[in-house]
Amino acid sequence: MIYVCKIGENRPIKAFAGHQGEVNCVKWDPTGSLLASCSDDITAKIWSMKQEKYVHDLMEHTKEIYTLRWSPTGPGTNNPNHQLVLASASFDSTVKLWDVELGKLIHSLNGHRDPVYSVAFSPNGEYLASGSLDKSVHIWSLKEGKIIKTYSGSGGIFEVCWNKEGDKIAACFANNTVCVIDFRL
């Protein structure tokens, strides 16, 4: 179950039922009108506060989906002329990019060898960083759906994050290190 709560209210204002397994992550889109969720049931779902049932059921992964992120693009963002995209990262070693309006797969980003634990969009929405247990950070061009840079460390990666200028990426590794990658093409 996913419960949407309002501070000060005793009961949830919305309850979403539809996943068949543990829900691992929920994230609001940049305008706060859509909610994405992902689960051990190998699906990601997009929900709207205007309806009870999910808007889209995204089913292209082959293993549990650990996390997801919305692109900083689309209406109401700093990049309004670019399409809003949802990225999902899975234990199947892939990152999938979804067309939110149609609920269809845009790209399957295949480059990791182990579960992908973290994804982050660059502030301009043109790139995606992904971190995996395979000890590598990949930087993807979203236009091409291809890896343009890779950084390898000595531990699994649990989180990646861009700075607001979009020229640095931080990654934290399972071997107790944090690295900052300078991103310039």
As given in the structure block, the two tokens for residue 131 are 């971190």
What does pTM read for this prediction? 0.95
Is residue 5 a part of any domain in this protein?
no
Is residue 86 a part of any domain in this protein?
yes
Is residue 3 a part of any domain in this protein?
no
Asked whether the CA dihedral 101, 79, 164, 113 is positive or negative, the reply is positive
DSSP 84: -
- The tally of CA atoms less than 13 A away on the side-chain side of residue 49 is 12
d(CA 62, CA 84): 24
Per the rule left: phi > 0, alpha: psi between -120 and 50, beta: everything else, 182 is beta
Residue 169: the pLDDT is: 98
Is residue 8 a part of any domain in this protein?
no
pLDDT truncated to tens, each residue of the chain (185 aa)? 999 999 999 999 999 999 999 999 999 999 999 999 999 999 999 999 999 999 999 999 999 999 999 999 998 899 999 999 999 999 999 999 999 999 999 999 999 999 999 999 999 999 999 999 999 999 999 999 999 999 999 999 999 999 999 999 999 999 999 999 999 87
Is residue 111 a part of any domain in this protein?
yes
Asked whether the CA dihedral 140, 159, 114, 23 is positive or negative, the reply is negative
Is residue 12 a part of any domain in this protein?
no
Is residue 159 a part of any domain in this protein?
yes
Closest CA to 170 of 155, 148, 151: 151
Which CATH number goes with the domain that contains 37?
2.130.10.10
Q: Please name the residue ranges forming H helices in the chain.
A: none
Domain span at 97 = 18-182
d(CA 103, CA 57): 7
Total structural domains within the chain: 1
How many CB atoms neighbour CB 147 within 10 A? 16
Is residue 145 a part of any domain in this protein?
yes
Residue 86: partners with Cβ closer than 8 Å, 6 or more residues away: 29, 36, 44, 46, 58, 68, 69, 70, 71, 97, 98, 100
Residue 185: the pLDDT is: 75
